[in-house]
Structure 1
Amino acid sequence: MASGIRLRIIRLTYSEALTNKELAERLDRDPATTLHHVRKLVDTGFLEALPPRRGTRGAKEIPYRSTGLSWHLDSRDRGIDQAIFEAYLAEIADVGFDEVQQTRLVVQVPDEQITEFETRLMELVDDFMSRPVDPEAKRTAIYLSKYPSR
């Protein structure tokens, strides 16, 4: 999973099933390279293949959808933290900085309250993650990073 492109594929297929060709177009990647990543994601349970459908020219296409397994990735797993950041930077490059709302905040939380702080942040994320997906709703991406401020 330590691949920014794989994380982007998972994100793209979260609320919309996409074929390998559609993924390659959205990621501006070669379809063969994208298919390699799609197959790995299917093999590891992060994507599921849906029933085949006919494309615009009658060719058989297989749409893929995220299984939600990626919600449970641990950023302490080898390489995943760098892949998350890589995916974030690529997504920002795609939309452009004019579309990004950014802020930087340094908080001073006593050691005995840091677990509560982290838990409450994750509860908010988990709450929105567990809600039904509205396919008509505008997609919003969030990148959250916590680190010691020196």
Structure 2
Amino acid sequence: MMTSHPRRTPSDPETPAVALVSALQSLSRAQREAAAHIAQELDWPRSGVAVLHVLTTCGPASLTDIAAHLRVDLSVASRQVSTLADAGYVVRTVDVEDRRVRTVELTAAGRALAAEASAAYTNLIDRAFTAWSPEDLDTAIGTLNRLVDTISADITHQRSPQNQQEFA
């Protein structure tokens, strides 16, 4: 006689997917704590350091691009950029190709603060992962990138115009 096992539902706290989400939330908290620690060392708000990192990595960018990179609302990015501009770490310029677009770029002081933040972050990471082998790190990087791609693809699929019509 076949025994029937109860099916697990996505809301069942014992499912691997729920455990994965819980682990991702813990990772997110750990990242926020690390960023807050670095910002505190630099005596600067955490959000400002994130904008500096985006501009260091991407170069001059529009406010829309900064918000997209940080995955925050445009108004949040605008406040963060305003704080940095008021402190002299970034300047806003009019885009030469599209005068409606404002480009944000680092000043010399912003580049110096970004370098300081990067060094502090590198030191923190080096200390935290000293016991990990290069292979362990490569495996973790691959898994995290796969997670990001999977979640982003699902969100993009849900936002596609075709799916919006299906849900309307």
TM-score (normalised: structure 1): 0.43
Q: Which protein has the larger Cα radius of gyration, Structure 1 or Structure 2? A: 2
TM-score (normalised: structure 2): 0.39
Give the number of the structure whose residues are more often helix, by fraction: 2
